[in-house]
């Protein structure tokens, strides 16, 4: 299209400042959330790296999907807490207030291998139980019709459109979950389930050819390096 043609198009849509944008440039209005089914879900995503924001990105997608009326569930590995983090995180309160979005925490207090007073065998038991729960949730999704709307308050084992396994890749790094089991889980998921995996400072090479989206969240600077502790409203 030439500049003259663009000018003519703009003149033909006088009064509309953005004629070629969705909604013609009008600010979108929120709509009531009603159960719906996604048309293009079904990919495997992996978010890894030494930068802050992997869980935040996954939860952001979860809220976006839930806002469209899709059923979302987040299962957290390795998120039992630390002495700098309160027992109730802000995201749990927000998820509880969001129709169609649910969560469960399978973490253990402290962090595996960091000599913080937590027992490593308990970390292993928690991670093992969490992975069994992940398999149960994937199997439940396989039994559901994910091309149809699901009850927003339904039990996640009865089917979800998006399943977030938060910090599962970190559990692999710590030797608490077998990478081959993660690959098998991803390959066994039903066609229409969007599976989101987060965690790991090390590249999850085992997901090459398995994950459709692999994003490296790279640290350039982090306030922790300057001695800042976790802050309410940003880290929890």
| More confident: 58 or 22 | 58
| More confident: 126 or 204 | 204
- 113: Cβ contacts below 8 Å, ≥ 6 apart: 120, 174
In 3D space, the residue among 100, 95, 12, 93 whose CA is nearest the CA of residue 59 turns out to be 95
| Token code pair at residue 48 | 């890894």
| Token code pair at residue 116 | 């913080």
Q: What is the pLDDT of residues 43-59, one digit of tens each?
A: 999 999 999 899 999 99
Q: What is the pLDDT of residues 103-125, one digit of tens each?
A: 998 865 445 444 444 455 676 88
* Residue 178 φ/ψ region, left for φ over 0, alpha for ψ in the -120 to 50 degree band, beta for the rest: beta
CA distances from 112 to 121, 125, 164 (A): 9, 11, 21
What CA–CA distance (Å, rounded) separates 81 from 133?
20
Q: Which residues pair with 215 in a beta bridge?
A: 47
Least confident of 38-47, 81-90, 135-144: 81-90
What CA–CA distance (Å, rounded) separates 55 from 43?
18
Q: Could you give phi then psi for residue 142, rounded to 5 degrees?
A: -65, -30
- Per-chain mean pLDDT for the chain: 84
| Token code pair at residue 139 | 């199997």
Is the pLDDT assigned to residue 141 strictly greater than 70? yes
Q: What is the reported pTM?
A: 0.84
- Rounded to the nearest 10 degrees, what angle do helices 120-143 and 179-188 cross at? 10
Q: What is the CATH number of domain 37-226?
A: 3.40.50.300
Order of all β-strands in the sheet with 72-76? 101-105, 72-76, 162-166, 194-198, 44-48, 213-216
């Amino acid at each position: 299209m030439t500049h003259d043609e663009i000018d003519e198009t703009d003149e033909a849509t006088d009064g509309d400042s953005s004629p070629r944008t969705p909604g013609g440039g009008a600010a979108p209005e929120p709509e009531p959330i009603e159960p719906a089914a996604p048309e293009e879900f079904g990919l495997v995503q992996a978010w890894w790296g030494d930068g802050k924001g992997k869980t935040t990105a996954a939860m952001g997608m979860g809220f976006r999907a839930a806002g469209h009326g899709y059923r979302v569930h987040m299962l957290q590995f390795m998120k039992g807490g630390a002495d700098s983090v309160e027992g109730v995180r802000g995201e749990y309160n927000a998820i509880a207030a969001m129709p169609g979005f649910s969560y469960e925490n399978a973490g253990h207090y402290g962090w595996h291998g960091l000599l913080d007073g937590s027992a490593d065998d308990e970390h292993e038991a928690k991670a093992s139980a969490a992975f069994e729960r992940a398999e149960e949730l994937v199997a439940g999704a396989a039994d559901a019709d994910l091309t149809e709307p699901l009850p927003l308050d339904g039990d996640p084992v009865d089917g979800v459109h998006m399943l977030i396994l938060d910090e599962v890749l970190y559990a692999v790094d710590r030797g608490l979950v077998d990478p081959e089991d993660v690959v098998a889980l991803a390959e066994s998921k039903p066609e229409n389930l969007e599976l989101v995996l987060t965690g790991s400072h090390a590249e999850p090479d085992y997901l090459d050819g398995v994950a459709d989206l692999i994003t490296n969240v790279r640290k350039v600077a982090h306030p922790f390096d300057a001695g800042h502790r976790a802050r309410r409203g940003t880290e929890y």
